[in-house]
Amino acid sequence: MKIAKYLLALSLALCATVAHADTWPSKPIRWIVPYTAGGGTDLMARVLASHLEKTLGQRIVVENRPGGSTVTGTAVLAQAEPDGYTIGMVFDSLAINSVLGVATPYDPGKDFAPIINLAYVPLIFIANTKEVPMKTLPEVVAYAKSHPDWLTFGTLGPGSPHEIGFDWFKSVAGIKAVAVPYKGVNPAMQDTIAGQIKAMFLGVAVADQYIREGKLRALAVTSAKRLESAPDVPTIAEQGYPDYNFVTFYGLAAPKNTPQPIIDRLNKEINSAFQDPEVRKRLEPIGAILAGGTSKEFSDYLAANMIKFRKIMAPTAQAK
């Protein structure tokens, strides 16, 4: 009798899930971005949200929740109802915070339903043109070695890809620098432009205008190859550090237990969006390499990413 009741309850639950997925979406959807407005993550969210509003027939509300090296916004995502009406962007910080032992109100490996890998994003090493008059990376390294307290760089907080990527560069270049944490890209960039800090790693989309205006200087990109959007900017690897290759990612996830049909629908719509010439054109300024693929592939990527950061961050994690 107990087994029969259990099977009946399970059957009713499955029917309810299917019915819910069939009527989804019937109201606006929240898209959580754990960074401030204005950066490459925010731009990607808004471009894709605009496209999804047309294909899903509902408003997509982009909600910026910065702070805590993405922990603040990611916690909002993890703790939301798994009904398909809250989705959010996830990043390397899922793995980084875990490796560093950062206390989070969620389990990075269990509390999310991966939807899709949105993009791989190289960063660009930018500097204030007046405070850093050197025009090449080797010149900056040479000066930093002879002036240990000179170089200050902005990050999006301890454990952010911006800081981990720069820490790795400091290690291979053998220099010292002072990290200055910020809650978002814009305030860090504005302080770099003003000369309050000298340099930082930044997304191409945010830096491009200020580089063209001469307010910032691009010294290097973090990927193994030069970017199509910035072909004149050499890589860190080709400037004397051949093993350096640091590329972050943008992904999309939902709270765990979100119905799989909803995950599949979102995955399908975003893969389709990546084939839209207008969407691709609007995403070009980010300097990102669009990814796509299945939710299973993204789930596997997140697991592999955790292993990768355990390896490259082992010395940092021990120091912390």
Query: Three-state SS string across 107-155, please?
Result: CCCCCEEEEEEEEEEEEEEEEECCCCCCCCHHHHHHHHHHCCCCCEEEE
Distances (CA, A) of 148 to 127, 140, 142, 173, 240: 17, 12, 10, 13, 20
Parts of the chain belonging to CATH 3.40.190.10 = 122-239
Contact, 88 vs 253, CB < 8 A?
yes
Parts of the chain belonging to CATH 3.40.190.150 = 2-118+249-319
Q: Is the pLDDT of residue 36 over 90?
A: no
Distances (CA, A) of 249 to 118, 171, 182, 233: 7, 22, 20, 21
Contact, 243 vs 168, CB < 8 A?
no
Contact, 96 vs 71, CB < 8 A?
no
Amino acid (1-letter code) at residue 150: W
Between 164 and 72, name the one with better pLDDT.
Answer: 72
User: What CA dihedral angle connects 206, 40, 78 and 265, to 10 degrees?
Assistant: 170
pLDDT at 69: 81
Q: Is the pLDDT of residue 210 over 70?
A: yes
pLDDT at 315: 54
Q: Is the pLDDT of residue 9 over 60?
A: no
How many alpha carbons lie under 13 Å from residue 146 in its C-beta half-sphere?
5
Q: Is the pLDDT of residue 10 over 60?
A: no
Percent of the chain with pLDDT over 70: 91
Q: Which band of pLDDT confidence, cut at 50, 70 and 90, is reported for residue 311? A: confident
Q: Is the pLDDT of residue 316 over 60?
A: no
Between 248 and 59, name the one with better pLDDT.
Answer: 59
User: What's the average model confidence in pLDDT over 209-219?
Assistant: 93
Q: Which band of pLDDT confidence, cut at 50, 70 and 90, is reported for residue 56? A: very high
Q: Which band of pLDDT confidence, cut at 50, 70 and 90, is reported for residue 117? A: very high
Q: Is the pLDDT of residue 228 over 90?
A: no
Contact, 15 vs 44, CB < 8 A?
no
- The pTM assigned to this predicted structure is 0.74
Q: Is the pLDDT of residue 267 over 50?
A: yes
Q: Is the pLDDT of residue 99 over 60?
A: yes
Beta pairing class for 199-203 and 152-155:
parallel
Q: Is the pLDDT of residue 144 over 80?
A: yes
Q: Which CATH superfamily is domain 122-239 in?
A: Periplasmic binding protein-like II (3.40.190.10)
How many alpha carbons lie under 13 Å from residue 25 in its C-beta half-sphere?
24
Between 204 and 110, name the one with better pLDDT.
Answer: 110
Q: Which band of pLDDT confidence, cut at 50, 70 and 90, is reported for residue 254? A: very high
Percent of the chain with pLDDT over 90: 66
Distance CA 257, CA 22 (A): 16
Sign of CA dihedral 176, 180, 185, 186: negative
- For Cα atoms 117, 119, 120, give the angle at the middle one, nearest 5 degrees: 115
* Region 2-118+249-319: CATH code: 3.40.190.150
Q: Which band of pLDDT confidence, cut at 50, 70 and 90, is reported for residue 16? A: very low
Question: Which residues pair with residue 89 across a beta bridge?
Answer: 252
